[in-house]
Amino acid sequence: MSDSAKMGFFTGSNVAFVILDATHRVVEVNGAAGLLWSTSPENFVGKDATTLFLNPDIEILVKRFADAGAGNEISFRAIARVGNGSGSPVEVHVAPLGGANVGLVVHDLSTLQRLERQHVREAEQYRSLFMNAPLPMREEDFSAVGEWLAELRASGVHNLTTYLDDNPEEVEAAIRSVRPLRVNPACVRLLKADSVGQVLAGFRDVELTPGVVASFRAQFEALWGGDTHAEYQFIGQNYVGETFECRIYWNVRKNPDSSVLHIDATMLDFTDLRRTQSRLEQQIADRDDFLAGVSHQIRTPLAAVLGLSEELQTQWGDLSREERLDILSIVVQQGFELAGLVEDLLVAASAQMDHVKWRPEATVLIEEARRAIDLLDHARGQKVDIDVRGHGITAWADPGRVRQILRNLIANAIKHGGSRVVIEAGGDESRNCAFVDVRDDGTGIPEQYATAAFEPYWRSHRHTTNVTSLGIGLSVARDLARTMGGDVTYSYEDGWATFRLCLPLTPDESE
């Protein structure tokens, strides 16, 4: 390189150059040095080089210049003393120039350090967002998967879907090569893992469910197609064996050479949403069944009442006294059944709006149980054989509503129970509870449906062969009991199904 070319490089470079003589004084600088030190180049000439820096140990600085003068190349970091007296971080490379002169190449590190600090802040912000995010998040190393896909492409594979269909074992091998790098607490909670370490262990030693295989295969095919963002549905199992359903959104982070590096995945868990949706769909189906049942159960007694009444009207003179009484008895039975059904429907509708009316008074529970049995006798046209026990304990409740509750509980025991029904009243002063137990020796409600049986529109025929239950009797009974400050509960023990009506004791009995 000619001297003129060297001079052009020296003066035109955007890197600061400083030339020192044997006494470590400045001989010459370029324009970039002037910009770095915030002064004109001519102000440098003749200055002691140590004054250009804020380093406290001047002797070490002088020694470095001397070593360079002796033919050694040295690099060190220092703080340049800029024009306003403040400091700017720099990296200094010192090298002999020939003769006694020494050259300094000074790189301004202020921008680099500012970028480094910014990077640290951004990394910390990302980490904070990642760890505190309410959504489950995980970061995974897919570099081995990227290499595998690159090898397949290089070997002539064009259709990954077909290749994976023919080589399913490679899908599992690729899944086990994925290395989880980081997961947030929300992800640990979703997976119900014992610790973060359990999740970070990855898939090396766990059984791969069909859902996991299908999920990762979709990711591999997306990567093969060049996608950098994707979303897909995932159904998997957590570490305690429970199934969960979520939607996964992932983003690909690549190396400078465009090879796959990391996958950032965010999971939106909608397991509870699906359960709620399923429950609502079932409730809608139950409601439709209920409405069909209401139509049938209202139409049947109503048709009987109308038909028999018309028969009495048109054939009164042709009927004997006994025939007239039989027809009237049936009309009364059907009327009682229809009245009870309508009353339950009114309570069910009022309970939805918290408008159930009741008038509390001292109510003898065992007497209301007998009256409820009489109502059922009239409605069925036959005597119901029920064992009634207990003393005359009183509750603070509406006797009509108590009768309605017991009618539903007793009817349920007769319809779904065994051959025996026992009714027993009692009290529990420690709980301020006057109770009536309605027990039958039937098979009871399956344990998994014990709670659902009290829900509106629950139909027993979904689980038995009975198709006559409207599914509101138990719901009405519990709603009425809770309106009056009590409750209806269910239990099954030693071959007996028991529904207990518990109501507050009358004030004088609870004192």
- List helix spans (H) across 316-443: 321-352, 365-380, 399-416
489 close to 406: Cβ distance less than 8 angstroms = no
Do 264 and 305 reside in the same domain of the chain? no
Q: Which of 61, 80, 113 is the last residue before a domain boundary?
A: 113
CATH code, 486 = 3.30.565.10
CATH code, 221 = 3.30.450.20
Residue 122 domain flag = no
Do 336 and 481 reside in the same domain of the chain? yes
Residue whose C-alpha is closest to residue 405's, from 452, 471, 344, 485: 344
Q: Which of 54, 83, 113 is the last residue before a domain boundary?
A: 113
How many residues are listed for the chain in this entry? Answer: 511
Q: pLDDT tens for residues 476-498?
A: 889 899 999 999 999 999 899 99
393: phi then psi, degrees, rounded to nearest 5: -70, 145
Do 84 and 171 reside in the same domain of the chain? no
Please state, in angstroms and rounded to a whole number, the distance separating the CA atoms of residues 208 and 192. 17
Q: pLDDT tens for residues 295-311?
A: 766 777 788 788 888 88
pLDDT of residue 384 exceeding 70, the answer is no
Residue 251 domain flag = yes
Do 80 and 144 reside in the same domain of the chain? no
Question: Which band of pLDDT confidence, cut at 50, 70 and 90, is reported for residue 463?
Answer: very low
Do 251 and 307 reside in the same domain of the chain? no
Tell me which residue range forms the domain holding 70.
3-113
* Mean predicted lDDT score pLDDT of the chain: 83
Residue 140 domain flag = yes
Residue 58: its pLDDT value, please? 65
User: Domain total for the chain?
Assistant: 3
Do 334 and 472 reside in the same domain of the chain? yes
Q: Which of 113, 145, 177 is the last residue before a domain boundary?
A: 113
User: Average pLDDT of 37-42?
Assistant: 85
pTM for this entry = 0.48
Q: pLDDT tens for residues 211-226?
A: 889 889 999 999 999 8
Residue 461: its pLDDT value, please? 44
pLDDT of residue 409 exceeding 50, the answer is yes
Do 435 and 317 reside in the same domain of the chain? yes
Residue whose C-alpha is closest to residue 500's, from 458, 427, 446, 439: 439
pLDDT of residue 383 exceeding 60, the answer is no
Q: What share of the chain is helix, strand, coil (3-state, %, to 5)?
A: 50, 25, 25
- Position of tokens 């009692």? 426
Do 327 and 400 reside in the same domain of the chain? yes
DSSP 359-377: --EEEEHHHHHHHHHHHHH
Do 289 and 420 reside in the same domain of the chain? yes
Residue whose C-alpha is closest to residue 289's, from 470, 476, 475, 451: 470
Residue 402 domain flag = yes
Please state, in angstroms and rounded to a whole number, the distance separating the CA atoms of residues 412 and 476. 12
DSSP 36-62: HHTS-GGGTTT-BGGGGB--S-HHHHH
